[in-house]
Amino acid sequence: MKCFIILILVLWHQDGTAQHSRNNNKIVPIKGGYYVPLYSLDSQKVYIHDFSMDVYPVTNNDYLEFVKKYPEWRKSRTKSLFADSNYLQHWNNDTTFNKNIKNSPVVNVSWFAAKKYCECEGKRLPSTAEWELAARASKTKIDASKDTLFNQWILNWVSKPNPKVLPNVGSTFRNYFGVYDLHGLVWEWTYDYNSALTTGESRGNSGLDNTLFCGGGSFASKDLNNYASFMRFATRSSLKAKYCVTNVGFRCVK
């Protein structure tokens, strides 16, 4: 009986905290449409339904709320199956980091951690197709993937070294959908980041790990000029789910 009362108190308390610790990330609707994957052995249009996307990447502060609520994701407790030793390496300890990165995108988080964060927010990680669909919008165009200036802007970012302290979220530009920072701040995890299988196929041998990006010339790409997309696919495919990388963050969708 005592236990039952404690349980009720606990549940009630959790409900209360949930209200306060919800992160500030607004979501905006993204109009669905057709998307042709950059390259695939199976290249064809995929239809993406309407969805909603976080306006900003998840910040250190947002992530702090998460680890406070789910202690199993604190850096001292997270299992090595789910995150490598670089997990939150830029934090001082389980729950503190330099104040100046409070509103910077959280990085050094694994795919598992990002996925769990989104689930706990009642959201999910975007598919690569969804992410790319939202990210092809420039400030003014819903699809700027053929826009030279837009692509050049992205390439300029890609070619710059990472700043020591990542700028705050919202410091790049607001795109057609009202989403910030899809380009120009950090790379972002997607749910199926590793689905671009480019060497061999079911019948082939699978020396996948080492040869994935060496045979670039043979990619069946739809648009070889889109170098920035190549960079994103290359980056994603070089990741493993437990990797925590200094320039990979994430955002969620619904």
Partner 1 sequence: MLNNFKTLKFIILTSCISLFLYSCGSQKEHETSEVKTVVDSTKITMSNIPDESIFNLQSKWITQHDDSISLIKFANKITVAAMVFTHCQSACPRIVADIQRIENALTSQEKEQVRFLLISMDPERDTPPVFREFSKEHGLNEHWTLISSTMDATVEIANVLGVKVKKLSDGGFDHSNTIYILNKKGVVAYQQNGLEVSPDETLKQIRLLQ
* Cβ-based nearer residue to partner 1, 99 or 203: 203
Measured between alpha carbons, how far is 117 from 78 in angstroms, rounded to an integer?
A: 13
Q: Which residue among 85, 203, 214, 217 contacts partner 1 (CB under 8 A)? A: 203
Q: Which two tokens stand for residue 204?
A: 């082939």
* Cβ-based nearer residue to partner 1, 155 or 208: 208
Q: How many residues bind partner 1 (CB under 8 A)?
A: 38
* Residue 215 beta carbon to partner 1: minimum distance, rounded to whole angstroms: 15
* Cβ-based nearer residue to partner 1, 58 or 101: 58
Range in contact with partner 1 (rule: CB under 8 A) among 139-147, 166-174, 189-197, 218-226? 189-197
Contact call for residue 14 and partner 1 (CB under 8 A)? yes
* Burial call 164-178: b when 16+ CB within 10 Å, e when fewer: eebbbbeeeeebbbe
* Cβ-based nearer residue to partner 1, 44 or 159: 44
Q: Which residue among 51, 56, 91, 111 contacts partner 1 (CB under 8 A)? A: 111
Measured between alpha carbons, how far is 82 from 95 in angstroms, rounded to an integer?
A: 19
- Alpha helix (H) residue ranges in the chain: 2-21, 60-69, 111-120, 128-135, 148-159, 208-211, 227-237
Contact call for residue 22 and partner 1 (CB under 8 A)? no
First to last CA, the chain: 39
Contact call for residue 36 and partner 1 (CB under 8 A)? no
Contact call for residue 205 and partner 1 (CB under 8 A)? yes
Measured between alpha carbons, how far is 187 from 175 in angstroms, rounded to an integer?
A: 16
Contact call for residue 194 and partner 1 (CB under 8 A)? yes
Q: Which residue among 29, 225, 240, 246 contacts partner 1 (CB under 8 A)? A: 240
Q: What is the DSSP string of 170-202?
A: T-S-B-TTS-B-TTTT-EE--TTTT----S--T
Q: Write the single-letter amino acid at 84.
A: D
Cβ(112)–Cβ(92) below 8 Å: no
Can you name the residues that pair with 180 across neighbouring β-strands?
174
Q: Which residue among 95, 119, 140, 227 contacts partner 1 (CB under 8 A)? A: 119
* Residue 85 beta carbon to partner 1: minimum distance, rounded to whole angstroms: 11
Measured between alpha carbons, how far is 164 from 61 in angstroms, rounded to an integer?
A: 18
Contact call for residue 164 and partner 1 (CB under 8 A)? no
* Cβ-based nearer residue to partner 1, 6 or 165: 6
Question: Where on the chain is the footprint of partner 1 (CB under 8 A)?
Answer: 3, 6-7, 10, 14, 40-42, 44, 70-72, 79-82, 111-112, 115-116, 119-120, 191-192, 194-197, 201-203, 205-209, 240-241
